[in-house]
Structure 1
């Protein structure tokens, strides 16, 4: 088959999720609702944390960035998916495809390390409460955020470089609803072994390093909690970690299912379902997980509502 690259051809075709017009309409309505909920939920979370002084702590500093990542993450994928569902035009330029892939990898990898930072924050808060203000200083919190974004940018740069230098066969159809690594690799006429190994090691290292950090943090947290004599004390300690642990389980479960396997075992149906979950659904769920299960966030929201009502009555 004729080989091509971005120097002589400029477009990919995204096959999307289905060819059925009826299902496309249903999915477009569903995804639009989810995206609106994602935007509103994450912006609300960031505003509540920003406006309530009592939430100006390292834990909520990380949560602000998590909300920003979820909002950005969904925006990179969902609008283009909605466009493809609502119109017959499914093309995406070579540059547009790799820009989408770059930001997708950057945001996903950054989220892994921010979730690790949040686990470390909970470890310090529960296992070394007296030293918490010193250990989780503003300087260290900002350093963890900067390292997370820098690592995400490095992962994204290497991934896009490996894929963008490949030649592609005459078929330009990406069997997915967004530009992801395995569907792009499947189109290449080049020997993809080096690219596959590099991407697998990179993705595996990111996931495993962050998972090891989270696991070690929670092993120490569990050990400390079990030593607490008071049942109310144990419940309070568990409640501070419950939201984060649930968010970690949902996010990493789908990511590991999708990426920590050889590209030859890629399954269009199963992997698309998993991809919909972690690219579109999870960014909507996180604000719910961290607000509905967090008394401090709910209390802060109520304080802001009462403050607004009080100012209106005063006027």
Structure 2
């Protein structure tokens, strides 16, 4: 039985992976799939793919595109979540800032450079019409716990992270959300190292078949809203809202979407060049 290592954020988007692992679906195909949580998000997972620590990652679309362009020997094999990611823009509960507009020129907490929280700070700044050189400043805080510490102690002024994941910290008074910033493209993709594509394309196909079967019927799983609420410490009404906004995908991301994302990243000077579709995507 081949051991395959996969990484992702420990969030509700990835519950389908937990469910399929729990019921032994991969072992029936002769695959020992090992999941690893990456609390640091996209930047941490990109490094793990580069270093061969994992074979696959469920990762933010814009983040892995940037990292492949910068030399990560990996390819996107499929879209995982088709709908946009809604990034909440958060400040400390007692912060002087009351609106997104007031954050102009202040310091953003980011998990690391090249992470989703870093890239989306640029998207938000562009949406607000800010000067991308003068009005952005960053403080690295590693993860969500680091953000709580950083904002509370005044090391940074605001933090962007997925709205529903961060909602319990709004509810308990750690954060206050001043606005939202959705990604203008499908939010999560499945990326695979080039070495794994070369050595075991059949196993990749088997893994995708299993997870796609689960996600295609995910919303119909009995009491799925209650399961998510309990597992991820969410309010039931928040989970139900999230489910109504979220659409999984079983398809490869198309060239128009890839082109749009690269155009945006290039315009924001996040990437220095664009790559052809077939250098970013591998169809299994």
TM-score (norm: length of structure 1): 0.24
Q: Name whichever structure is richer in strand by fraction.
A: 2
More helix by share: 1
Bigger radius of gyration among the two: 1
How high is the TM-score relative to the length of structure 2?
Answer: 0.26
